[in-house]
Amino acid sequence: MKRSTNKSRKIHIVPEGNGYAAALIALLFVEALFLFILMAVNILPGKYEVLIVLILAALDFVVAILVSGRKRDRLIKSTGMVLIFLLIFNIGFASSGMFGTYSVLDGIFAGTKAPAPGEPFNLYISGIDSRNGIEETSRSDVNMIVTVNPHNREVLLTSIPRDAYVHLHMNGELDKLTHTGIYGVEETIGTVEDWMGIDIDYYARVDFQMLVNLVNAIGGIDVYSDYAFKSAVTDWTYVKGWNHCTGKKALYFARERKAFKGKDQQRIKNQQKVLKAIFKKITTSDALLMNYPEILKAVEKDMQTDMPMSMISALVRNQLDTGDEWDIKRQQVKGKMDQKGTWSMGPLRPLDVCIINEESLKNCADRINELAED
């Protein structure tokens, strides 16, 4: 009787040899670190995180097969080792980038207010023209309330003239809204809350350089101009109709006022158009997913906010998950220019101020409260 010569083959998933095993363990360690940081940053929706885990698991299986077994071809084993080291390098580099992302987010979004992802909120944007960085005390040249209702996916942009003649929160004296920035962003917010009868949940204090960096990071924006005009301080020109703007071109589009009969009123409209274009580009294209590191870098040094990091993460994650469009509406508080004394500069030194129309103020405040309380 013939004895069977068939031998069962062993499949080696764990590589034989200390060098191969150590390389694979190092790869698994780097992957674990990467996944830990990814979960800590908490930006990507769950489906993307699951996809990343599955891809890494498949790659681990492939490299383990390539380097396993004593008699496996040396070229195949070498290919497996090269693949391991490439993965370690790339995943390690990604881990470093993700850790930097977490650190930047933690530094920018260092708020103490309890987050309420999904609930409507008012964000006050205070734009300053600083020469020495975002930490410098400066006037609030751009004043805009962004009301966000995630339930209805609606955004309302409310602009206030920088020269609005208002009662200061700290002492009730009359002054220009832009001057409140000298006394800190909290004074600006308190003054606007008292004046409009609204609640402002968070603020974002931004330098104009951030606008330049952000627009460049997302590959430019398209804004519609009501008029053909040339910037009074640069060589940038704009046609009536759609204009594709890089960072600096977008900045001077938003800052120009001398070219218009309506001056500051038209400047306010253009500022809203720029912000709407940025918001649209980020939410209706792959700019957020593909350019997230660049977007984060753009705001790192030129923005301060008290909005919690967890809330920003929730909003970003939701947008990446759904990709739904937002309905963006605009309004502005209107008034007439006059000359009055101010608390900051003294009653005997009349300055240009904007006397706000009470009906316009009430209508704007009502729309904010309606959307924020929905």
Angular region, 252: left φ>0, alpha ψ -120 to 50, beta rest: alpha
- For residue 115, being part of any structural domain is answered with no
* 152 and 277 inside one domain: yes
Q: Tell me which of 45 and 264 has the higher pLDDT.
A: 264
* 97 and 174 inside one domain: no
Average pLDDT over residues 304-316: 77
Q: Is residue 196 pLDDT above 80, yes or no?
A: yes
Domain-ending residue, one of 75, 108, 141:
108
* 220 and 310 inside one domain: yes
Domain-ending residue, one of 108, 137, 168:
108
Q: Is residue 8 pLDDT above 60, yes or no?
A: no
Residue whose structure tokens are 């996809």: 51
Q: What is the pLDDT of residues 14-25, one digit of tens each?
A: 555 567 778 888
* 207 and 146 inside one domain: yes
**At 1, is the pLDDT very low, low, confident or very high (cuts 50, 70, 90)?**
very low
- For residue 113, being part of any structural domain is answered with no
pLDDT at 246: 94
* 97 and 211 inside one domain: no
- For residue 5, being part of any structural domain is answered with no
Q: What is the pLDDT of residues 95-143, one digit of tens each?
A: 666 665 555 555 545 444 444 456 899 999 998 877 666 767 788 889 9
- The CATH number linked to 217 is 3.40.630.190
- For residue 174, being part of any structural domain is answered with yes
**What mean pLDDT is reported for the chain?**
82
Strand-pair category, 154-159 with 142-149: antiparallel
Amino acid symbol at 337: M
* 324 and 366 inside one domain: yes
CA 68, 73, 79, 83: dihedral to nearest 10 degrees? 0
- For residue 323, being part of any structural domain is answered with yes
Q: Which two tokens stand for residue 33?
A: 């670190």
Q: Tell me which of 43 and 219 has the higher pLDDT.
A: 219
pLDDT at 157: 94
Q: What is the pLDDT of residues 238-249, one digit of tens each?
A: 999 999 999 999
Domain-ending residue, one of 57, 74, 108:
108
As for how many domains the chain has, the answer is 2
Share of the chain above pLDDT 70, in %: 81
- For residue 4, being part of any structural domain is answered with no
Share of the chain above pLDDT 90, in %: 39
* 58 and 192 inside one domain: no
CB 247 within 8 A of CB 212: yes
Q: How far, CA to CA in Å, does 141 sit from each of 177, 182, 206? A: 9, 11, 10
Q: Under 8 Å CB-to-CB from 80, ≥6 apart: which residues?
A: 15, 20, 63, 65, 66, 67
* 365 and 318 inside one domain: yes
**At 177, is the pLDDT very low, low, confident or very high (cuts 50, 70, 90)?**
very high
- For residue 333, being part of any structural domain is answered with yes
**At 72, is the pLDDT very low, low, confident or very high (cuts 50, 70, 90)?**
low
Q: Which two tokens stand for residue 138?
A: 């400066």
Q: Is residue 180 pLDDT above 80, yes or no?
A: yes
- For residue 222, being part of any structural domain is answered with yes
Average pLDDT over residues 283-288: 70
* 310 and 236 inside one domain: yes
* 68 and 158 inside one domain: no
* 174 and 205 inside one domain: yes
Model-level pTM? 0.72
* 132 and 88 inside one domain: no
Domain boundaries, position 313: 121-372
Where in the chain does DSSP place strands (E)?
A: 121-128, 142-149, 154-159, 165-167, 174-176, 202-207, 221-225, 229-230, 237-238, 241-245, 303-305, 327-332, 335-342, 346-356
pLDDT at 61: 84
